Amino acid sequence: MKSTWIFSIVALLGLVVWGCDQVTTPQLDPGTGKATQGAAETTAVFFCGGCGQIKGSDACCAAGAATCSKCGLAKGSPGCCKIKKGTDVQLCTKCGQIKGSDTCCAADAEKCSKCGLAKGSPGCCKINTVPKAPTTGSGAKAPASGSGPK
C-alpha cells in the first residue's frame, strides 16, 4: 500500500513538472514538403544545402536537375539564390524565414494571405498550406477556404 502511494505521488509530481502535452511532428508531403491536413505546426523543415529543395522530398538531390548558374543549387528550387550551397538550412515554421536570422519572426513582417507565413520568405507557400484563419469584426474566426486536401 505504501509503495502505491509513493508511485502515485511521483507520477503526479511528474505530470505537474513536465506536463502531459505531446509533441507531435506532422508528416510532410514528400513531393511538396508541405504539411499534410490536420498539421498544426511542423517542428523542423530544412532546405538541403546540396540542391536547395526541401530536405527529404522527392525532388531533393534528384538526378538530372538543372543547376542555377548563380548559386549552384537546383534551378527553381525553394532555396535557389536564397541559401548558400553546402549547408542545410532550417526554416522557422512560424514565419518561413531562416531560423534565427534577423528577419525570423519579425513583428512587422507582412503575412502571406495564402499560407500565413511572412510574405516572400523562403518558406512562403512552400512549408505551410493551412492559412491562419482571419478574424471577423465579431471576434469569430472566419472559415478557412481551400484548407482541406485536394
CA–CA gap between residue 49 and residue 89 (Å, rounded): 7
Q: Is residue 16 in some structural domain? A: no
Can you point out the beta strands (E) in 34-109? 45-47, 89-91
Angle at the Cα of 101 (from 95 to 103), degrees rounded to 5? 55
Q: Is residue 30 in some structural domain? A: yes
Number of domains in the chain: 1
The SS3 call for residue 74 is: strand
Q: Is residue 43 in some structural domain? A: yes
pLDDT over threshold 90, residue 51: yes
Can you point out the beta strands (E) in 1-145? 45-47, 89-91
CA–CA gap between residue 2 and residue 49 (Å, rounded): 57
Q: Is residue 111 in some structural domain? A: yes
pLDDT score for 23: 40
40 pLDDT tier (thresholds 50, 70, 90):
very low
CA–CA gap between residue 139 and residue 11 (Å, rounded): 40
Average pLDDT over residues 42-53: 84
CA–CA gap between residue 102 and residue 88 (Å, rounded): 18
The SS3 call for residue 139 is: coil
10 pLDDT tier (thresholds 50, 70, 90):
low
The whole domain housing 69 covers 23-130
Of the two residues 130 and 96, the one the predictor is more confident about is 96
Of the two residues 123 and 40, the one the predictor is more confident about is 123
Q: Is residue 11 in some structural domain? A: no
Of the two residues 141 and 85, the one the predictor is more confident about is 85
Q: Is residue 8 in some structural domain? A: no
This prediction's pTM: 0.55
Per-range mean pLDDT, top range of 38-42, 81-85, 143-147: 81-85
pLDDT score for 12: 57
pLDDT score for 11: 60
Of the two residues 139 and 57, the one the predictor is more confident about is 57
**141: phi then psi, degrees, rounded to nearest 5:** -80, 135
Question: Which cell numbers in the block locate residue 137?
Answer: 469584426
Q: Is residue 146 in some structural domain? A: no
